[in-house]
Amino acid sequence: MEELNKIIEYITSTDSYKNTVKLKEQMSENTELTDLIEEVKSLQKEYIKTNSTDIKKKLDEKTSKLEEYPIYNSYNKYLEEVNHMISYVNDELNDYFDKVINESN
């Protein structure tokens, strides 16, 4: 457990994580941006359910508009870096447990 806490502390101390949190807070203060993000999320869900070309077109338009916000693009960049770190840790843990299980068999 202590080692897991060290990994969490490491990730949360990175600039990528700190920037992600800071940018998320800044984005939350922009109602136009947050409304657009919610619209995109809603359209994504609707598109998955319906596979409608009309919904896809609206989704693409709103996504393009969303990508015009530099803060949103920066946020996504840093979020991707954080997710990559988490994914790496997850992969390493999976590999470790696979070895432990396979050695016991």
Kindly tell me if the per-residue pLDDT of 105 is higher than 70. Answer: no
Mean pLDDT, all residues of the chain: 94
Percent of the chain with pLDDT over 70: 99
Q: Note the pTM of the prediction, 2 decimals.
A: 0.82
Position 51 pLDDT exceeds 80: yes
Nearest-10 crossing angle of helices 31-50, 53-66? 150
Topology of the domain comprising 15-104: YheA-like fold (1.20.1500)
- CA–CA gap between residue 29 and residue 52 (Å, rounded): 32
pLDDT for residue 5 is more than 70: yes
> What does DSSP assign to residue 105?
-
- Does residue 82 register a pLDDT over 70? yes
Tokens of 44: 């994504």
